[in-house]
Every structure is written in C-alpha cells, then in structure tokens.
C-alpha cells in the first residue's frame, strides 16, 4: 500500500468492531475508533494494542452528536472510509424501548451519511444482519431471497438502515457502500486479549454456554426441542468473529479498489453450515472437555426455526470464506471467558 489509508471504525471497541480494528491495523490501515462506550469498555483499546503493538486513536463520543462528529471530520480531511458498527443490538430490549433503538441506530447512520457527502468520505461498510430474512422459505438463504417484515425494532433498524443507504447511494453516484449481513458471530481473538463482553445476562447462546461452564450461570436453557429440525432444536450458522472481521477488510478493499459492480452491494457472511443448539453444546463439550449443565425449556418468543447462509456471493466477489471451525471458535470463546474473568479479578471486580 502506498499511503496508509485512514478508516473510521464506529463502535470500534465493541465485539466485532474491535476484531476488525485488529485486522485493519495488521494490514497497514490507520484505524480511528469512534465509540461512546455505551456497551463496551475502554480496556478494549489496551487489548487491541497488546495484539498489534499499535494503540488506535480513540474518540469517545456519541455519533448522535452531529456537531462533535462534524468537528472531528473537519480536523481530519482525507478519510478514506467508514466501517459502521456502532448500534444498539439487544432484540428484547428493542421491543421494550423502540424509540431508543430507532433514534440511536438511525440517527447515527444519517449523521454518517451526511459526513460522507460533506467531507468527501467515499466508502461505507455497514453492519447488517441475517435477521432481515426472517424465516426464509428456502435454505440456504441467498442475497436474492426476499427481506421479510422485521420481528423486532432492532431488526427493523437494520432493514431501514439498508434501505436508507440504498436510497442515498442511488442519489449520489460518487458514494459507495456495502451492507454485510452477518449470521451468528461467535468466539474471540486467539490471543485471548479481546472478545465479547456481554453486559448482564447474555442473550446469545455462546456467551451463555461459556458463563454456565465457568459457573457464573447455574444452567443453560435450551429454548425448545420441538422444532422441525433433525434434533428438534433451532439451527443457526455460527462463524468466528476473526473470519467475520476479515470480511470487512475484503469489502473495504473492494470499495477502495473500485472492484464493486454497483455503488451499493449486499453480501451474506456465514459458513454455509447449519448447526443446531444441541450440536453447538456438544461441540463445545468435546472441544473444551467442560460439561455444560443445560435443561430443555419452552421456545423463546420470536426465534427463527432454522437459517444458514449461502455465502457463495461473498466467496466469489470478496474472495472471502470462513476458515475457522466451529470447535476452534468455541475453544476461543472458552479461552476468552477464562482470561476475561482473571482480568476482572485482577481489577478487583467480581
């Protein structure tokens, strides 16, 4: 690379954001984090530095604050791209607090789109979700399959986000964007220095598994084994967060090198393999040698029965595919759970 390209990573101290900052730095990019630490911790910046030897510039403010954002952009002309992770993401909370979700997730995006135009930042990579497909009729699901009405305000902010970006790209041919539809990201950086930091009771399966195995939770509840799947539990496509982070670099480079076919594209990011909840638990037990105390309970409201990706478009166009197995991913989640607990103990926390 001739000059170090400058990339803003919103939500860069979050779970997927921090892993992406590491990959960016390791490829020679200058990553600038904007995050208000509403669901992350400043110690993540230390973790990133431990891995890469580079402390990323960190700007602590809320992206809803248009004035602060504009002031920052004025101070650093020549920014090449934005990777936008910053958003609220708890499905259940979004049902209880819809306005908070719409306000935060949409205002931040609108502000960033304004920034792209006003300060000549040509490229955007947007965090979207397989949640836009609802329960697909055909599996694996491709980018051609229809988007279904969202089942939560959170999911709706992702759908609306994609639509807003698509409209803006249609209106401004000089700007370009990619939306990445993630399936289920799991695991942590192999170094053990960064990983997921779920606040309070985890909603997601893998942090619940690791917290149960380490003894913070008494028992994992498997939400239903009466689905129309081989073992009755729900099926998802779990991919390692480092693989996912690498897809962002591939998407970014496609934009920077102008290899994109149109100025707005969408890609599924998954392994292409469906794994049931019971299989995930069994694989965790085999990969780590730890037992997970679990019980079968009723279905969780709003759960999709089964979904997995057809990632062939990303394989072909981004030259990206997942490389880390489910067992390795779960082992890395377990390593992180143990490291994280000892970091907390060292800091005198519980």
Q: Which residue has the tokens 């679990």?
A: 294
User: Does 205 sit near ligand WQD (CB under 6 A)?
Assistant: yes
Active site annotation includes 238? no
What is the spatial distance between Cα 301 and Cα 282, in angstroms, rounded to a whole number?
24
Q: Are strands 81-84 and 57-59 parallel, antiparallel or unpaired?
A: unpaired
Site track for ligand WQD across 158-197, x = CB under 6 A: --------------------------x-------------
CA atoms 71, 50, 26, 128: torsion sign: negative
> Which C-beta is closer to ligand WQD: that of 193 or that of 240?
240
Identified binder of ligand WQD from the candidate list 208, 284, 308, 334, rule CB under 6 A:
208
The beta strands (E) that lie in 130-190 are given as 176-182, 184-186
- Rounded to a whole number of angstroms, the minimum distance from the CB of residue 7 to ligand WQD is 22
Residues 300-339 that bind ligand WQD (CB under 6 A): 300, 303
User: Does 268 sit near ligand WQD (CB under 6 A)?
Assistant: no
Structure tokens at 2: 């001739």
> What is the DSSP secondary structure assignment for residue 217, as one 8-state letter?
S
User: Does 269 sit near ligand WQD (CB under 6 A)?
Assistant: no
Residues 276-305 that bind ligand WQD (CB under 6 A): 277, 300, 303
Q: Which residue has the tokens 């939770």?
A: 217
Residues 129-158 that bind ligand WQD (CB under 6 A): 129, 131
Q: Give backbone dihedrals phi and psi of 164, rounded to 5 degrees, phi first.
A: -65, -45
> Which C-beta is closer to ligand WQD: that of 122 or that of 311?
311
> Which C-beta is closer to ligand WQD: that of 121 or that of 206?
206
**Count of positions on this chain that bind ligand WQD (CB under 6 A):** 18
Helix (H) or strand (E) holding 255: helix 241-256
- Rounded to a whole number of angstroms, the minimum distance from the CB of residue 19 to ligand WQD is 15
Structure tokens at 46: 């230390």
Among residues 29, 88, 154, 264, which one is catalytic? 154
- Rounded to a whole number of angstroms, the minimum distance from the CB of residue 264 to ligand WQD is 20
SS3 (DSSP) at 82: strand
Helix (H) or strand (E) holding 283: helix 277-288
> Which C-beta is closer to ligand WQD: that of 56 or that of 207?
207
Asked if residues 329 and 187 have their Cβ atoms less than 8 Å apart, the reply is yes
Helices 15-26/43-52 angle, 10° precision: 30
Identified binder of ligand WQD from the candidate list 6, 27, 66, 221, rule CB under 6 A:
221
Q: Would you mind telling me the total number of residues written for the chain in this entry?
A: 350
User: Does 240 sit near ligand WQD (CB under 6 A)?
Assistant: no
CA 270 to chain centre: 12
Identified binder of ligand WQD from the candidate list 31, 169, 234, 249, rule CB under 6 A:
234
Asked if residues 206 and 281 have their Cβ atoms less than 8 Å apart, the reply is no
Asked if residues 181 and 267 have their Cβ atoms less than 8 Å apart, the reply is yes
Using CB under 6 A, which of the segments 53-61, 221-229, 249-257, 262-270 binds ligand WQD? Answer: 221-229
Identified binder of ligand WQD from the candidate list 203, 279, 317, 328, rule CB under 6 A:
203
User: Does 105 sit near ligand WQD (CB under 6 A)?
Assistant: no
Q: Which residue has the tokens 């693989």?
A: 243
- Rounded to a whole number of angstroms, the minimum distance from the CB of residue 156 to ligand WQD is 12
Q: Which residues are catalytically annotated? A: 154
Residues at the site binding ligand WQD, with contacts judged by CB under 6 A: 89, 91, 129, 131, 184, 203-205, 208, 220-223, 234, 236, 277, 300, 303
């Amino acid at each position: 690379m001739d000059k170090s390209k400058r990339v803003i990573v919103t939500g860069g101290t979050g779970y997927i954001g921090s892993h992406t900052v590491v990959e960016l730095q390791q490829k020679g990019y200058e990553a600038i984090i904007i995050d208000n630490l509403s669901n992350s911790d400043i110690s993540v910046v230390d973790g990133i530095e431990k891995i890469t030897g580079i402390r990323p510039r960190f700007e602590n403010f809320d992206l809803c604050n248009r004035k602060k954002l504009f002031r920052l952009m004025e101070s650093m002309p020549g920014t090449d791209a934005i990777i936008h992770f910053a958003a609220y993401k708890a499905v259940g909370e979004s049902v209880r607090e819809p306005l908070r979700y719409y306000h935060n997730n949409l205002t931040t995006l609108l502000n960033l789109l304004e920034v792209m135009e006003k300060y000549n930042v040509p490229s955007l990579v947007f965090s979207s979700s397989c949640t836009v497909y609802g329960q697909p009729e055909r599996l694996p699901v491709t980018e051609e399959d229809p988007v279904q009405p969202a089942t939560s305000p959170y999911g709706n902010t992702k759908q609306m986000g994609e639509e807003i970006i698509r409209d803006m790209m249609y209106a401004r041919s000089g700007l370009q964007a990619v939306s990445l539809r993630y399936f289920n990201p799991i695991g942590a950086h192999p170094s053990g220095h960064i990983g997921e930091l779920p606040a309070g009771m985890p909603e997601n399966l893998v942090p619940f598994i690791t917290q149960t195995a380490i003894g913070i939770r008494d028992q994992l509840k498997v939400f239903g084994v009466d689905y129309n799947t081989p073992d009755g539990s729900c099926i998802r496509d779990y991919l390692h967060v480092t693989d996912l982070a690498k897809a962002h670099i591939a998407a970014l480079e496609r934009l920077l090198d102008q290899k994109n076919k149109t100025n707005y594209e969408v890609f599924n990011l998954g392994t292409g393999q469906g794994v049931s909840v019971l299989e995930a638990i069994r694989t965790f037990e085999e990969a780590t040698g730890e037992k997970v105390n679990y019980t079968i309970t009723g279905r969780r409201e709003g759960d999709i029965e089964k979904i997995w990706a057809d990632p062939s478009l990303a394989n072909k166009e981004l030259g990206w595919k997942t490389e880390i197995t489910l067992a390795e991913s779960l082992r890395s989640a377990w390593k992180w759970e143990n490291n994280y607990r000892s970091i907390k103990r060292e800091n005198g926390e519980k």
